Amino acid sequence: MTRPRRLISFDWAMKRLLRSKAHFGILEGFLSELLREEIQILEVLESESNKETALEKQNRVDLKARNAGGEIILIEVQYQRQFDYLQRILHSTARTVVENLQEGQPYGEVVKVISVSILYFDLGQGQDYVYHGATRFIGLHRHDELQLTQAQRDLYGRAEPQALFPEYYLIKVNQFDDVARDCLDEWIYFLKNEEVPDGFRARGLQEAKEQLDILKLPEAERRAYERYQDDLHQQASMVQSSYGWGMHQGRKLGREEGREEGREEGREEGREEGREEGRDEGQRQERLRIAQSLLDLIADDRLLAEKTGLSEAQIQALRGEGN
């Protein structure tokens, strides 16, 4: 059986192709299947994402669009592990809300924002591969859900309060088991494997299959795409190597100290303290790795120390090593 042809990754398409109105059908298809409603993209808005390397992509929204209902949709592809990612998307949506309310406008004009994160790392704990977050107001005593009055529905054009607040979709691509049970799963299969098998019927996928064919790229674009893919692999290897080395060193230190403590105070107590030391050392190495990756992005040593749990002296030492 012939394997389907590999296609351009979705994040590359968002940077180079999907910003063009001629390719809106691909983006509309994906969002329609995810949000389970017909989505029409009116325009792609300005964003900060036209960066080439994975490091330059940090703290950027990959694509920002406005749909036919006037809602702003933020789409971001994230490869590198980030422990404060939930706060990051909260900041992005809050900033978008503020930026789109003009001075003097009533609060009724606050724009609805939908944040869609396509994640290639395991964020949080959970068995599912698609998570949806929305704001609901539940009574503390009667446990009923707050609803809008008819006048508010007429004013806002919304049926319930949650439709006024930002919503979040988290797609944990690597957790998908490659079994396409519905049209959204077909899209997630493409996001994970960069191919569209015969028989897939999700909206936008056939258009993606035709227009995102790597072999149809001009030679210069194909070389640029290959460099981009190499960069992603390199970044992933660096993260994995750094994290794995830190955990290995932590376990090694833990075993050595655990054996010493075991000889002095008893085998069981030594093993437990050794494991604890190993965990602490692994966590310390991971904090150092994260701080190292953020040195160029956060110039304030005190702020970076607060974000990573390190001391300012440790941050300054890291900067010294880079000089």
- Top pLDDT among 10 and 112 is at 112
Pair type for strands 167-172 and 130-133 = antiparallel
Distance CA 142, CA 235 (A): 51
Residue 5: how many CB atoms within 10 A of its CB?
A: 13
Q: What is the DSSP letter of 165?
A: S
The pLDDT, as a whole number, for residue 54 is 45
Question: pLDDT (tens digit, 9 = 90+) per residue, 59-87?
Answer: 467 899 999 999 999 999 988 778 889 99
Helix H or strand E encompassing 78: strand 72-78
Sheet hosting strand 113-119, strand order edge to edge: 41-44, 63-67, 72-78, 113-119, 167-172, 130-133
Nearest to 41 by CA among 50, 56, 28: 28
- pLDDT surpasses 80 at 28: yes
- Give the domain ranges of the chain: 10-216, 220-322
Distance CA 109, CA 103 (A): 11
Question: Lowest mean pLDDT: which of 103-112, 224-233, 237-246?
Answer: 237-246
Distance CA 275, CA 103 (A): 56
Q: For a pLDDT cut of 90, what percent of the chain falls above it?
A: 46
- pLDDT surpasses 60 at 99: yes
Name residues whose C-beta falls within 8 Å of residue 319's C-beta, 6 or more positions apart in sequence.
295, 301
Computed on alpha carbons and rounded to an integer, the radius of gyration of the chain in Å comes to: 24
Rounded to two decimals, the pTM is 0.69
Number of alpha helices (DSSP H) and beta strands (DSSP E) in the chain = 11, 6
- Top pLDDT among 250 and 293 is at 293
- pLDDT surpasses 70 at 211: yes
Average pLDDT over every residue of 239-260: 56
